[in-house]
Structure 1
């Protein structure tokens, strides 16, 4: 089944997932921070489901990870 997310969305999700795992944070930790269910974070991290972080959620995550929201974006445009 093809991905329901764009290449850019997949990139952002993967960066956040790697940051989360490197800090030994769970999907539940992220869900608690964002005020959503752990199932929703699972949907975001799934390639097959179109759910995605909002800009406000990305901002909260950047505070949580102590980085810039720009750190979630690639340096160069991504071709789909």
Structure 2
């Protein structure tokens, strides 16, 4: 945060927004597992984020946000189903073998 403006002079919502933006977005271990699995598939098949976006019917910016640690969009079950179909996998292949604790 800018040290020139005392926090007490900021509207509360703005202070909260700045705080949230400065924090790393936390996601669950299972969500991170799915994201990592898709990144590995993308790299293994020499695909770009644009390619993944086309497969799941979104824009590249969505995939960029999924892979970013600052703005964590998440793949949903429909995305996983489309990716599984494209790569000839089962949707369960995207999930870890056992339940995981949250990050």
User: TM-score, normalized by length of structure 1?
Assistant: 0.89
The C-alpha deviation readout for 1:22-71, integer Å capped at 9, x for no partner, is 01111100111222111110101112323111111110000111111111
Moved segments of 4+, more than 3 Å = none
Match of 1:24 in 2: 46
C-alpha distance in 2 between matches for 1:4 and 1:48: 9
Mind listing any 5+ residue stretches in structure 1 that lack a counterpart?
Answer: none
C-alpha distance in 1 between matches for 2:87 and 2:26: 26
Mind listing any 5+ residue stretches in structure 2 that lack a counterpart?
Answer: 1-22
Match of 1:41 in 2: 63
Contact 2:28 2:101 in 1 (8 A): no
Alignment partner of 1:53 is 2:75: yes
What is the number of equivalent residue pairs in this alignment? 80
Q: RMSD in angstroms over aligned alpha carbons?
A: 1.3
User: TM-score, normalized by length of structure 2?
Assistant: 0.71
C-alpha distance in 2 between matches for 1:2 and 1:35: 27
C-alpha distance in 2 between matches for 1:4 and 1:35: 25
